Amino acid sequence: MTDESIKRNTAADVLRRYREDDLVEFIGLPLNDVNQRGHFGDRPIHIAAFRGNVADLRALIEGGADINAQGDRDFTPMHNAVLHNQIDAVKFLLEIGVDQKIPNDDGNSALELARIMGHADIVKLLERDGGVR
């Protein structure tokens, strides 16, 4: 099987699946836009980061999703990935150049949140990448 024969998710595929998942965030909303805010302020990219789904993150970003979008509690996708200890998502988000210094509503950067949560491996990654100390 070659890379060309593997079907990659598109942003439309991800949005369709998220609609079918009946996510509370998007119940009753059309969910046709990668940057659409849900009932609590999150966007599809926040859900993908929370789940640690790198394929969905990639598809949404390729579809125009804002990698630094702030959602519920001013969390960015990076905050969501850190909160839920999704190390692969954190690595991916670092690779594509997210701004990990954006504070959430408590004033915590992604690095500070990783320290609070006790996610030592993520702390190391973020420190190495130049996060707020």
Q: Nearest Cα to 32, choosing from 13, 15, 55, 10?
A: 15
pLDDT for residue 85:
98
- The DSSP symbol for 16 reads H
Is the model's pLDDT at 131 over the cut of 60?
A: no
CB 77 within 8 A of CB 103: no
**For the domain 3-99, what is the CATH superfamily, name and number?**
Ankyrin repeat-containing domain (1.25.40.20)
Q: Residue 3 — very low, low, confident or very high, per pLDDT cuts 50/70/90?
A: low
pTM: 0.91
Question: Distance between CA 36 and CA 93 in Å, rounded?
Answer: 20
Please provide the distance, in angstroms rounded to a whole number, between the alpha carbons at the two ends of the chain: 45
pLDDT for residue 6:
59
Mean pLDDT, the chain, as a whole number? Answer: 93
Is the model's pLDDT at 69 over the cut of 60?
A: yes
Give me the helices (H) in the chain, please: 11-20, 44-51, 54-62, 77-83, 87-95, 110-117, 120-128
**60 burial type by CB count under 10 A (0-12 exposed, 13-18 middle, 19+ buried):** buried
Domain boundary assignment for the chain: 3-99
Is the model's pLDDT at 61 over the cut of 70?
A: yes
- Amino acid in the structure at residue 88: D
Q: Residue 8 — very low, low, confident or very high, per pLDDT cuts 50/70/90?
A: confident
What percent of the chain stands above pLDDT 90? Answer: 89
Range 82-95 average pLDDT = 98
Range 109-120 average pLDDT = 98
